[in-house]
Amino acid sequence: MIPRRVHLIGIGGIGLSAIARVLLARGVQVSGSDLRASPITDGLEKLGANISVGHRAENVGDVDLVLVTSAALADNPEIVEARRRGIRIGKRYDFFPELTAGKTAIAIAGTHGKTTTTGMIATILVDAGLDPDVIVGGIIPELSGNARAGKGKYFVIEADEYDRAFLGLRPTIAVVTSIEMDHPDIFADEDAMAQVFREFIARIPRDGLLVGCGDSERVARELQYAAAPIVRYGFEPDNNWRATDVRLNADGGSDFTVWNGEKRSGDFSLRVPGKHNVLNALAALVVVDRVGIDLSRARETLARFRGAARRFEVKGEFRGVTVIDDYAHHPSEIRATLAAARMRYPGRVIWAVFQPHTYSRTRALLNDFASAFGDADHVIVTEVFAAREREARGVSGKQIVEQMEHPDARFIAMLDASTEFLARHLHAGDVLITLGAGDVYRVGEAVAQRLQGE
């Protein structure tokens, strides 16, 4: 039974805001707080949520449940007040069983690719008239946000490994796109990461389905722990579903052929670039085929799919300079994004501006970051975006540059200084890509404004 009144601490975050949107659509009285107003909180307010800027005890009204972001500290005044009054307090994973009750859950997990794959599956189900509930960790233009409430049987949900949140789910169908070391503030090493994915995989029932990327050695290793039937997808010939003949198309995306075993399922096209997105689309096709959607209908949706916001988001061309923003904040994501850029813009000069995200990740993956920029001609690394962390502990973006063997890489700590440098050095025909989960997108926006003003 969904509580009638819910307060969300950190409601402006991508995860809790999605839950808030679903609750509002179901008629729940929603309130919430965050450190600052944003387009996300403004949108929730328009939908009927009572939003407070800043965290104060009096923000907690007469509510039945308080949901708390993983980034909140125990001494948050609203948590303290809720505890004093005996109000139930929980995190996302505590609430998932209630939120998805009565629905067939389709959960998409993985260190990379889960947002785009979730968006693809959700959009195909919506276009097919199945009216799903959706929670996704990014803004999907086709969904007009990061969530929707539906009256259909399916609940499509991005399954986030951070803080082990996805262990609150019991999906009937699950996808695992990748397993790599990340979130060193939570997991000690890749084996610890893999262990929590193993626990997630074990939650899929015997009459369900596990869809895993067979090209990933670590995913393939963990699939053996599943009780559910397994479908492997990828480019390699030993997968159950395969994509072959991948080639660049006129939209800057990829055309490819899909095979289900020895059966040729047809040719497909994407607007979103990169071979990693071909894999995401392949995972989506396995899932929608399982729920009975004709692949010809899925083909039409995928051909129109614009991708999630901040996932290779082309901001435009300004005096001949193409500006792109991407959320990539892990070495593998950076490599995939830059490879996609090199494929889409052959022969053009690529500038990459990277803002490391969290001190713990920067320290743990320092050498991997240093080797991730081979497809960029010029690299700027800024200072670390601290996010939820408070102590730098001697970690700096400068250390990444010091470890690099790139022919043109430099450390420019501040975003404004990076903008000034780029404004002096960019030329018509160049491609500028901002990379990171913080506010590095401001560099691209500022450069675009400067170029437009010239």
The answer to whether the CB of 307 falls within 8 A of the CB of 119 is yes
The answer to whether the CB of 372 falls within 8 A of the CB of 406 is no
pLDDT, tens digit (0-9, with 9 covering 90-100), for 363-421: 999 999 999 999 999 999 999 999 888 888 899 999 999 999 999 999 999 999 999 99
The Cα 365–Cα 428 span in angstroms is: 34
The Cα 53–Cα 197 span in angstroms is: 35
Q: Which residues contact 101 (CB under 8 A, 6 or more apart)?
A: none
If you average pLDDT over residues 236-241, what whole number do you get? Answer: 97
Q: Which two tokens stand for residue 243?
A: 């994509």
In words, the CATH class of domain 5-90 is alpha beta
Residue 45: which pLDDT band, with cuts at 50, 70 and 90?
Answer: very high
Q: Which two tokens stand for residue 15?
A: 């995860």
User: According to the model, what pLDDT value does residue 374 have?
Assistant: 96
State the Cα torsion 419-444-361-395 to the nearest 10°: 10
Q: Across-strand partners of 209?
A: 173
- Torsion sign over Cα 69, 112, 327, 282: negative
If you average pLDDT over residues 423-442, what whole number do you get? Answer: 96
DSSP H helix total and E strand total for the chain: 15, 21
Q: What share of the chain is helix, strand, coil (3-state, %, to 5)?
A: 35, 25, 40
Residue 452: which pLDDT band, with cuts at 50, 70 and 90?
Answer: confident
The Cα 210–Cα 46 span in angstroms is: 38
Question: Considering only CA atoms, which of 401, 405, 407 is closest in space to residue 384?
Answer: 401
The Cα 430–Cα 319 span in angstroms is: 10
If you average pLDDT over residues 9-26, what whole number do you get? Answer: 95
Q: Which residues contact 383 (CB under 8 A, 6 or more apart)?
A: 355, 356, 396, 397, 413, 414
Residue 266: DSSP 8-state: E
Q: Residue ranges per domain, the chain?
A: 5-90, 96-304, 313-453
pLDDT, tens digit (0-9, with 9 covering 90-100), for 267-297: 999 999 999 999 999 999 999 999 999 999 9
Looking at the chain, the whole-number percentage of residues with pLDDT higher than 90 is 88
If you average pLDDT over residues 223-242, what whole number do you get? Answer: 96
Mean pLDDT of the chain: 94
State the Cα torsion 422-424-427-431 to the nearest 10°: 0
Residue 454: which pLDDT band, with cuts at 50, 70 and 90?
Answer: low
Residues known to be catalytic: 114-115, 158
Looking at the chain, the whole-number percentage of residues with pLDDT higher than 70 is 100
* Three-state secondary-structure class, residue 319: coil
User: According to the model, what pLDDT value does residue 163 have?
Assistant: 82
User: According to the model, what pLDDT value does residue 390 have?
Assistant: 81
Question: Considering only CA atoms, which of 76, 11, 77 is closest in space to residue 38?
Answer: 11
Q: Which two tokens stand for residue 415?
A: 């975003």
If you average pLDDT over residues 1-27, what whole number do you get? Answer: 94
Residue 385: DSSP 8-state: B
Is the CATH number 3.90.190.20 carried by domain 313-453? yes
If you average pLDDT over residues 71-99, what whole number do you get? Answer: 92
Position 309 pLDDT exceeds 90: no
The Cα 314–Cα 312 span in angstroms is: 6
pLDDT, tens digit (0-9, with 9 covering 90-100), for 175-206: 999 998 888 888 888 899 999 999 999 999 99
User: According to the model, what pLDDT value does residue 204 have?
Assistant: 96
Q: What dotted CATH number matches 96-304?
A: 3.40.1190.10
Residue 93 vs residue 171, higher pLDDT: 171
How many other C-beta atoms are found inside a 10 Å radius of the C-beta of residue 412?
A: 21
Angle among Cα 315, 318, 324 to the nearest 5 degrees reads 30
pLDDT, tens digit (0-9, with 9 covering 90-100), for 88-147: 999 988 899 999 999 999 999 999 999 999 999 999 999 999 999 999 999 999 999 999
